[in-house]
């Protein structure tokens, strides 16, 4: 997937939450565009997000290792 693919996903109006599936089998949910940040080679995804919306940690996901992007069904958005 290209950097532009992730730019497009994060800038959708209205935003549509999605799950990143990695080549390792791990997956990470992006429920809000502010919970992810792009670099040239990675997407940083906030994890362990409590009610205040501020993530406790983040995971660095290499764009080369993202094998799929899946829509989050039944989310509160969209």
- Domains of the chain are 3-71 (2.30.30)
DSSP code string of 4-43: HHHHHHHH-SS---EEEEETTS-EEEE-SGGGEEE-SSEE
Tell me what the mean pLDDT of segment 68-76 comes to.
82
Give pLDDT tens digits for 22-67: 999 999 999 999 999 999 999 999 988 778 878 889 999 999 999 9
Give residue 78's pLDDT: 43
Predicted structure pTM score = 0.84
Asked if residue 18 lies in contact with residue 70, where contact means CB atoms within 8 angstroms, the answer is yes
Give me the torsion for CA of 48, 50, 55, 57, rounded to 10°: -30
Which one is predicted more confidently, 76 or 9? 9
Q: What CA–CA distance (Å, rounded) separates 78 from 74? A: 9
Q: What local confidence, expressed as pLDDT, does residue 6 receive?
A: 95
């Amino acid at each position: 997937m290209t950097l532009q693919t992730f730019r497009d996903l994060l800038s959708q109006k209205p935003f549509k939450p999605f799950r990143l599936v990695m080549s390792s089998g791990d997956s990470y949910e992006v429920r809000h565009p502010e919970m992810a940040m792009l670099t040239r080679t990675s997407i940083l995804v906030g994890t362990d997000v409590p009610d205040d919306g501020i993530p406790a940690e983040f995971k660095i996901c290499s764009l080369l290792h993202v094998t799929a992007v899946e829509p989050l069904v039944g989310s509160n958005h969209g």
